[in-house]
Amino acid sequence: MDKIDYKKTEKHLYLPKKPAIVEVPEMVFFAVDGRGDPNTAPDYREAMELLYGLSFTVKMSRMGGEEPAGYFEYVVPPLEGLWWTEEPGFDGRGDVDKSKFIWTSMIRQPDFVTEEVFAWAQKRLAKKKPELDVSKARFLRWEEGLCAHVLHVGPYDTEPETIHRLDDFLAGQGYAADFSGTRRHHEIYLGDPRRTATEKLRTVIRHPVRPSGGGG
Domain range for 63 is 14-211
Q: Which of 88, 87, 55 is nearest to 178 (CA)?
A: 88
In a domain, 5, yes or no: no
Within 10 angstroms of residue 18's Cβ, the number of other Cβ atoms is 8
State the pTM of this model. Answer: 0.94
Q: Is residue 58 part of a domain?
A: yes
Residue 36 Ramachandran class (φ > 0 left, ψ -120 to 50 alpha, else beta): left
Q: How many domains does the chain have?
A: 1
CATH code at position 201: 3.20.80.10
3 assigned to some structural domain: no
Residue 194, pLDDT > 80, answer no
Whether 111 is in a domain gets the answer yes
Instruction: Answer yes or no: is 39 within a domain.
Output: yes
**68 within domain boundaries:** yes
CA angle 124, 135, 30 (to 5 degrees): 75
Q: Which of 184, 81, 153, 15 is nearest to 161 (CA)?
A: 153
- Does 151 fall in a domain? yes
Confidence of residue 14 (pLDDT cuts 50, 70, 90): very high
Is 22 inside any structural domain?
Answer: yes
Q: Over the stretch 29-60, which tens digit does the pLDDT of each residue have?
A: 999 999 999 999 999 999 999 999 999 999 99
Query: Who contacts 152 (Cβ-Cβ below 8 Å, separation ≥6)?
Result: 158, 159, 162, 202, 203, 204, 205
